[in-house]
């Protein structure tokens, strides 16, 4: 059942990307082109997504102690900005700006077999693999040591 709802969620997300035009990298690149052919529609899509998600998320986290499939909620616990997070964010932003894709729309556009997608997705997958297998180089605090 968990896999079914994951698939259903992904299909709804992908359909939303297609309907909103966000699977088209030209639309994303026009949003990033502030002094040229700027297209603000991506901001409205993001705003609409936040307006729909935020109340539901707030309600769920207030009224439920656990998720439907995973038990407890897995909320972020880190509050610091470490070099790994900042580097990853910069790489993501540069890739998004150059290619016009982020992971969701790239996978949604993959069946269209556009050249940009066929180049972007393999590099995205390699980047995900590298990120998962890159050790955290910061020293860990010793047990019982004051932080």
Per-residue pLDDT of the chain (147 residues; tens, 9 = 90+): 888 988 898 888 888 878 887 777 788 788 888 888 888 888 888 898 899 889 988 888 888 878 777 777 777 788 888 888 888 889 888 877 777 777 877 887 788 777 778 888 888 889 888 878 877 655 555 555 554
In a domain, 47, yes or no: yes
In a domain, 69, yes or no: yes
In a domain, 106, yes or no: yes
Calpha distance 83→88 (Å, rounded): 8
pTM: 0.57
Query: What pLDDT does residue 136 have?
Result: 66
Query: What pLDDT does residue 50 have?
Result: 92
In a domain, 80, yes or no: yes
Report which of 75, 68, 78 is spatially closest to residue 6, judged by C-alpha positions: 68
Look up the domain containing 80 and give its range.
Answer: 2-133
Query: What pLDDT does residue 51 have?
Result: 94
Residue 23 φ/ψ, nearest 5 degrees:
-80, -5
CA distances from 3 to 6, 9, 21, 60, 119 (A): 5, 10, 27, 21, 28
Query: What pLDDT does residue 137 have?
Result: 52
In a domain, 36, yes or no: yes
In a domain, 29, yes or no: yes
Query: What pLDDT does residue 139 have?
Result: 52
Cβ 29 vs Cβ 42: under 8 Å = no
Cβ 97 vs Cβ 13: under 8 Å = no
**Structural domains counted in the chain:** 1
Residue 78 φ/ψ, nearest 5 degrees:
-80, 140
In a domain, 45, yes or no: yes
């Amino acid at each position: 059942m968990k896999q079914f709802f994951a698939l259903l969620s992904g299909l709804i997300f992908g359909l939303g990307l297609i309907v909103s035009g966000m699977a088209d990298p030209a639309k994303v690149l026009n949003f990033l082109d502030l002094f040229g052919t700027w297209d603000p529609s991506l901001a409205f899509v993001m705003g609409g997504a936040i307006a729909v998600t935020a109340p539901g998320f707030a309600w769920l986290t207030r009224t439920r102690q656990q998720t439907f499939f995973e038990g407890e909620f897995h909320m972020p616990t880190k509050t610091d900005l470490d070099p790994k997070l900042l580097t990853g964010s910069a790489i993501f932003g540069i890739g998004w700006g150059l290619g016009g894709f982020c992971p969701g729309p790239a996978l949604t556009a993959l069946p269209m077999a556009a050249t940009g997608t066929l180049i972007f997705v393999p590099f995205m997958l390699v980047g995900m693999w590298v990120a998962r297998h890159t050790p955290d180089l910061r020293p860990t605090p010793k047990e019982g040591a004051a932080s």
